[in-house]
Amino acid sequence: MSTGQYRPISAVVLAAGEGTRMRSETPKVLHPLCGRPMLLHVIDALVALPLERIVVVVGHGAERVTKTLQEQMASEMPIEFVEQRVQRGTGDAASVALTASSFDGDGEDDLLIVPADTPLLRPETLATLAREHRAADAAATLLTAISDPAGYGRVVRDDAGRVSHVVEQVDADDAELAINEWNTSIYCFRRGLLAPALRRLSPENAQGEYYLTDVVEVLRETGHLVIAAPVADPSEPVGVNDRAQLAAAEAVLRARINDRWMREGVTMTDPAHTYVDASVELEPDARLLPGTILEGRTVVGAGAVIGPDSHLVDTIVGERAAVRQTVARETEIGDDVTCGPFAHLRPGSHIGARAHIGNFVETKNAEIGEGAKVPHLSYVGDAEIGEGANIGAGTITANYDGKEKHRTKVGKGARIGSNTVLVAPVEVGDGAYTGAGSVVNRDVPPGALAKGVPAEIDDGWAARRDDEDE
């Protein structure tokens, strides 16, 4: 008896299917949930286990799937890709997996097989499955769930309660359809017993496919032990096959992410309306107000307040900053900055500590110095604004001459009058001033004043016009 005895264990992920029900150009397993492709969530759960290796069966969109996984996998665990050229069903996919070059020897090891469309799966659940499989010394252990079985394969048991076989919904009769224990498509197999069982499958079923589920019956008929291990939380192994299931699964993941951050000391006024990608980092005492969407490599510092209604992508927010109604991408927002409402910070914006970006301000590729203010209605692009400078309402950097982009530099403590047009390339020196409405197309020395086009006064003009009209 090898009960309880250590056997090496590897994992196979079935990711070759097209995912027809998604009706998408994107392979199903690459659809993101909380910013991370579905398949990566499954891989993340696997790499948390002490596995020998992971074999991924790719097929539909193989190149994209392989590339995405290689780029985004955050683990050194050995991974091998095998291609299932024609998608003949899950049984065929498993057979293809066993051709992986990293599988050799007698097959005296265990194999977790998981589909790539179960993004809510937790490592603890897989570990429990493997433990029960070993404890029973089974040939195959099925992770099953007892809940609404609509759409899933039903687990049929004999009179003694032992697993008999799995029948797909489309192949089931009324009695089988009434069974509420369903197959999650997550299994643990003895590799050496799986291989011969797979060779005995036939595609005689409603879908004309080789069903991995059919190995249950084959193994049992050849005298091997097959057991079912019901999962504690039946919502965990749900499969995502269409957009409605995708949205439902994402909501569960989002709640998990939010719960984790709240436990770590982040305040969320309304977690149901707070959207934090799996890749985001938050520091304690950050506060996220409703309508906050944080994506990619966004980091929010301690004590910062984000929202309401702020959408930050790959943006780093300093401590105690306040970022309300702001859209930002690839931006750094310093400590104690106040930003918004209605600010748009585009890639390459660096907002220095204690600076203020006010309403209807757009920045791009711009360094805003410490304590500088851009309070209202401005465009600051390809620019460097010195410490403590003030940019008057309506000021814009005319950075584009129709052919090339040019830079604007505003010195420390400079005062740019309302509605100034800074025609780049141009430099305004430290402590210099520009008058309201000036068009500055030459450099302004430090401490100087650049005045622009004052309006001419034509006295009595309105009355004269009225006379002419008569």
From the list Ca ion, ligand UD1, none, which binds 40 (C-beta under 5 to 8 Å, kind-based)? none
Which of the stretches 90-98, 239-247, 267-275, 356-364 binds Ca ion when contact is defined by CB under 5 A?
239-247
Please report how close the Cβ of residue 342 comes to ligand UD1 at its closest, in angstroms.
Answer: 43
Q: Is 291 in the site for Ca ion (CB under 5 A)?
A: no
The whole-angstrom separation of Cα 16 and Cα 28 is 9
Q: Is 153 in the site for Ca ion (CB under 5 A)?
A: no
Q: Which is nearer to Ca ion, 240 or 366 (CB)?
A: 240
Which of the stretches 83-91, 289-297, 302-310, 401-409 binds ligand UD1 when contact is defined by CB under 6 A?
83-91
What b/e sequence results for 127-136 when a residue is b if at least 16 CB atoms lie within 10 Å of its CB, and e otherwise? bebbebbbee
Residue selected from 40, 51, 92, 389 as contacting ligand UD1 according to rule CB under 6 A? 92
Nearest to 347 by CA among 375, 369, 327: 327
Tokens encoding 420: 């100034």
Q: Is 117 in the site for ligand UD1 (CB under 6 A)?
A: yes
Residue type, 300: V
The whole-angstrom separation of Cα 264 and Cα 285 is 9
Please report how close the Cβ of residue 59 comes to ligand UD1 at its closest, in angstroms.
Answer: 6
Residue by residue, DSSP assigns 91-123 as HHHHHHHTT-TT--TT--SEEEEEETT-TT--H
The whole-angstrom separation of Cα 68 and Cα 136 is 37
Residue selected from 33, 57, 288, 396 as contacting ligand UD1 according to rule CB under 6 A? 57
Number of residues this chain uses to bind ligand UD1 (CB under 6 A): 29
Q: Is 215 in the site for ligand UD1 (CB under 6 A)?
A: no
Question: Alpha helices, DSSP H only, in 137-214?
Answer: 174-177, 191-199
Please report how close the Cβ of residue 247 comes to Ca ion at its closest, in angstroms.
Answer: 16
Q: Is 17 in the site for Ca ion (CB under 5 A)?
A: no
Catalytic site residue 165?
no
Q: Is 349 in the site for ligand UD1 (CB under 6 A)?
A: no
Please report how close the Cβ of residue 55 comes to ligand UD1 at its closest, in angstroms.
Answer: 12
Q: Is 116 in the site for ligand UD1 (CB under 6 A)?
A: yes
Q: Is 236 in the site for ligand UD1 (CB under 6 A)?
A: no
Strands (E) in 45-202, as ranges, are 54-58, 79-83, 110-115, 140-146, 154-157, 163-167, 181-190
Residue by residue, DSSP assigns 334-347 as -TT-EE-SSEEE-T
Q: Is 212 in the site for ligand UD1 (CB under 6 A)?
A: yes
Please report how close the Cβ of residue 187 comes to ligand UD1 at its closest, in angstroms.
Answer: 10
Residue selected from 35, 37, 119, 153 as contacting ligand UD1 according to rule CB under 6 A? 153
Tokens encoding 446: 């430090």
From the list Ca ion, ligand UD1, none, which binds 14 (C-beta under 5 to 8 Å, kind-based)? ligand UD1
Q: Which is nearer to ligand UD1, 212 or 428 (CB)?
A: 212
From the list ligand UD1, Ca ion, none, which binds 116 (C-beta under 5 to 8 Å, kind-based)? ligand UD1
The whole-angstrom separation of Cα 140 and Cα 133 is 7
Please report how close the Cβ of residue 322 comes to ligand UD1 at its closest, in angstroms.
Answer: 44
Q: Is 239 in the site for Ca ion (CB under 5 A)?
A: yes
Tokens encoding 84: 């299932």
Please report how close the Cβ of residue 144 comes to ligand UD1 at its closest, in angstroms.
Answer: 9
Q: Please tell me which residue in 60, 273, 376, 406 is annotated as part of the active site.
A: 376
- The size of the chain, in residues, is 470
The whole-angstrom separation of Cα 288 and Cα 298 is 13
Q: Which is nearer to Ca ion, 19 or 271 (CB)?
A: 19
The whole-angstrom separation of Cα 130 and Cα 279 is 29
Please report how close the Cβ of residue 27 comes to Ca ion at its closest, in angstroms.
Answer: 13
Q: Is 15 in the site for ligand UD1 (CB under 6 A)?
A: yes
Task: Estimate the crossing angle of helix 62-72 against helix 38-47, to 10 degrees.
Answer: 50
- Exposed / middle / buried, residue 24 (Cβ in 10 Å: 0-12, 13-18, 19+): middle
> What DSSP designation does 21 have?
G
Contact between 420 and 398 (Cβ < 8 Å): no
Q: Is 89 in the site for ligand UD1 (CB under 6 A)?
A: yes
> What DSSP designation does 411 have?
-
The whole-angstrom separation of Cα 154 and Cα 396 is 65
Q: Which residues bind ligand UD1 (CB under 6 A)?
A: 14-17, 57, 59, 84, 87-90, 92-93, 115-117, 152-153, 166, 168, 182-185, 211-213, 239, 241
- Residues of this chain that interact with Ca ion (CB under 5 A) are 117, 239, 241
Q: Any idea which residues carry the catalytic annotation?
A: 376
